[in-house]
Chains A and B, each alone.
Chain A
Amino acid sequence: MDLPLNTLSSGTEAKITKIIGGCGLIKRLTEMGLTHGTQVKVVSEPCGGPVLIEVRDTRLALGRGVAMKIFVEE
């Protein structure tokens, strides 16, 4: 089941399956290390704001608009 990243609750670990978006967004995410198959952990509570995730021991903040375009599988 693929879900957008912003719907996950705090503490969930998931794997990125799909990113929908323009070239610019995908390139930017790739630079930050968010590629297909990357294991991420959601740290923030869902509250309509940005989403905080943990990837490879670094913390990234993603705007809601970005998080909605990243699909993950638990």
Chain B
Amino acid sequence: MKAKKVLGDDADIVLADARYEQISKIIEASLVKGERKRTVTDVLDKVFLNKYVGIPAFFALLWAVFQFTFEASAPFMGLIEMLFAWLSSLAAQIPNEVVASLLADGIFGGLGFILSFTAPIFFLFFALSLLEDSGYLARVAFVFDKLMFKLGLHGRSFIPMLLGFGCNLPAIMAARSIEGKKDRLITILTVPFMSCAARLPVYVLIAGAFFASHAATAVWSMYVIGIVVAILFALLLRKTILKGEPAPFIIELPTYKMPTLWGSVLHMWERGVSFLKKAGTYLLVGAIILWVLSVLPWGVEAGSGDSLIGLIGQTLQPLFGPLGFNWQIVSSLVFAFLAKELVVESLGVIYGVGGEASIQAALVASITPVSAFALMVFTLLYVPCLATVGVIKKETGSWKWTLFAVLSEMAIAYLGALLIVGLGGLLGFS
């Protein structure tokens, strides 16, 4: 306090100045500097931060990460699936019918499908740990700062958005490294529009049923629509409720290091377990609630029009009438609030058919191609999953922003789907 009086308001700065001055004096006196040689960091940064080659080099590494995450993890996904199928078959033998159904269908069935995604998520975390421990990840923020600045964000928001394509959960957690409160909020609120891996099975199912030879284009367009909506939403937020300049972008770029296998495994384990704890809790609770909704009142065919989930679908259906969705689809969208990939599974349960081909046939019989595309857009844009909502609450620390996120995503999804139906009508598709 006394220092503040003597030095004026800038006490911190004067002190820091003096401190650095002292440091450099000591260094000057004690260190004999040789001629500075080009270090490994100098050599690598010349290319990784190059204005022409930097971005392509990044995309090359990104593709390596994606290949590793999705291709190399596939058999391990199968192993987890096998474990849960086995547990489920054990549980089905329990004499008490209610307990058997809860465990076999509700918990092991629903959860097992989703937990098999643990494999790619751990692979993704491992690859990212390698990139981070080597010192490269900080460079990505540098390379993309110019582009992100135009969107009213800065380089640091790039990594969370990118991670969003894998899974929104770690992506929102990664937004922690962003300093400005507004910058962080904008990033957290826009990440859910990045189409995560869980939405892919839904697109593949619908596009395969309705768009035959253009299926790949229809699926690809989802990713593009997601990015466009995210950009527009970020700009809108920056212009309205989160006004202001992005916080100053200052980061330290560490020197490159050879990452160690053990270090990266530990890093992956820490992140993976914290992800599992969060996702696991929300998913378990959600799976139980949805199982209850689908089998009550006890005795009805699970997921049929007489079950609670069917009744909810029928009640909400008028709201979705303009989009051309029937109650079965509305029910499955309610199901999918738990996790997006459940759209596929729950459609199977509700239509009472098994296998992708028969679900597709049931869909083709009940909605138009335009509505099908609107359904894809709706799936892309509405709340990604219960676990994401939980993480948004945890990271923003506010129910107000969590509610805002959920409501704005719902509204954008509805408007987006309505726009598709409207455009389809104008262009003469039915």
Contact = CB atoms under 8 A, between A and B. Distances in A.
Interface of A: 21, 24-33, 35-38, 43-45, 47-50, 52, 56, 58-66
B249 A63 contact: yes
Nearest to A58: B252
A35 B13 CA distance: 8
A33 B20 contact: yes
Nearest to A50: B145
Contacts of A33: 20
Given A50-B145, A50-B146, A63 B253 contact: no
A6 to B, nearest CB: 12
Interface residues of B, number: 29
A62 B156 CA distance: 12
A60 B253 contact: yes
B16 interface: yes
Nearest to B17: A35
Contacts of A61: 138, 141-142, 145, 155, 249-253
Nearest to A41: B36
Given A48-B146, A50-B145, A65-B245, A60 B49 contact: no
A35 to B, nearest CB: 5
A65 B51 contact: no
B298 interface: no
Contact of A45 (B41, B51, B154): B51
Contacts of B41: 59
B253 A62 contact: no
B149 interface: yes
Q: Which 7 A-B pairs have the closest CB atoms?
A: A63-B249, A49-B146, A59-B253, A50-B145, A61-B142, A30-B16, A66-B248
Nearest to B143: A49
B45 interface: yes
B154 to A, nearest CB: 6
B12 interface: yes
A56 B33 CA distance: 12
A24 B142 CA distance: 21
A37 B139 CA distance: 27
Given A65-B245, A65-B249, A49 B17 contact: no
B142 A38 contact: no
A62 B12 contact: no
A50 B45 contact: no
Given A35-B20, A43-B45, A52-B142, A63 B248 contact: yes
Contact of A59 (B21, B141, B252): B252
From A27, A29, A63, name the one whose CB has the most chain B CB atoms within 10 angstroms: A63
Given A25-B248, A37-B21, A60-B251, 13 more contacts: A27-B12, A28-B248, A30-B13, A30-B17, A35-B16, A43-B45, A49-B51, A59-B253, A60-B253, A61-B249, A62-B250, A63-B149, A65-B245
